Amino acid sequence: DLGITFRIITVLTLTAGTLFLMWLGDQITERGIGNGISLIITVGIVAQLPAALAQAWKTFVPSGATGTSQVNPAILVLMIAFLFIVIAAVIAVTQGVRKITVQYAKRVVGRKMYGGQTQYMPLKVNYAGVMPIIFAWALLLFPTTIVGMAFQNSRTAQTISDALANGWPHYVVLALMIFFFSYFWVATQFQPSQIAEDLKKYGGYIPGVRPGKPTSEFLDFTMTRLTFAGAIFLTLIAILPSLLSQGLNVPQITAQFFGGTSLLIIVGVMLDTMRQVETHLIQRHYDGFLRKGRIRGRFDRASYNRGEAAPQTTLMWLYVGIAVLVIGGVAIFVYGR
């Protein structure tokens, strides 16, 4: 028994550390670029990447004359290619939207005419984001933990706990929970009635759909179909690490980068940060954006002297430094053990 003093100190330390991280995240959000809490979580996930690469190398690449690999090294190359395919699919689905055409009626106010424009209402395919997977995993692990603690001597309870932890019952229950929480999240966050009312108020309508309740029903039907596709995508991403770990003997620390909450969080945070950086570039180089019709970072000497941009040489050395740190971390992990 470690005693009550150790427990109190541990609780106070964890609480103080959590509060400090929350404060640090708020400072990053307020003074920097991107969401601070999300960036801290992402950095914690990415920090495991060198260890994951080293473990994958030890598992799939033979070492020495006899070799200790369980799988042909060609599988490692296929896994890397598959990883890029999964990342591309996650980015495509995360960025995927259904554009609903919205037409605004013309209005005459005084001598000026307003409206008559055609705009688009984007409805995201993965509207719920990573939340359904988080909720599903939390509820799936809760009964397993309770059964393991309360019914340690019960063989039936242990069988149920093992079935929920591994195997096809685990995947079926996980998929059902992901579908449920996907629709639950959309039902609580997406309000088609309010959107239809706002469109009607400002003179907007969807071509071929009457304003008011028909517009609300159309938006609800469209979002229901999109949510079904998004739930299928989330289910595949959630079970992919487990399938790789059990089917191909991929280390769990490596398999987490092929799907699950880790990959969704990394992709989501990176895309959000890139959008904010793009917004800052548009504001800073607005004249160049209008002239060339695309967003370009101008790294000329005049901008460098004004402190507006970094030269390409500096960025190149930055990338080289990051690469050296990653390679060094992998080498230390491999040869230091």
Could you give the angle at the alpha carbon of 177 between the alpha carbons of 171 and 180, nearest 5°?
Answer: 140
Residues 202-213 have a mean pLDDT of 86
Average pLDDT, the chain: 76
Question: If you average pLDDT over each of 152-166, 168-182, 282-296, which comes out highest?
Answer: 168-182
The pLDDT score that the predictor gives to residue 1 is 57
**pLDDT at position 281 over 90:** no
Count, residues in the chain: 337
Point out the least confidently predicted range of 153-162, 222-231, 328-337.
Answer: 328-337
Cβ contact 106:113 at 8 Å: yes
- Return d(Cα 39, Cα 37) in angstroms, integer: 5
Could you give the angle at the alpha carbon of 91 between the alpha carbons of 86 and 93, nearest 5°?
Answer: 95
DSSP-derived letter for residue 120 is: E
Three-class secondary structure of residue 239 per DSSP: helix
Which of 264, 273, 257 is CA-nearest to residue 39? 273
Count of CB atoms situated within 10 Å of the CB of 88: 10
**pLDDT at position 230 over 50:** yes
The pLDDT score that the predictor gives to residue 289 is 47
- For 302-336, the pLDDT digits (tens) are 444 444 444 455 555 555 655 665 665 555 555 55
CA 279 to chain centre: 20
Name the token pair of 267: 């992709």
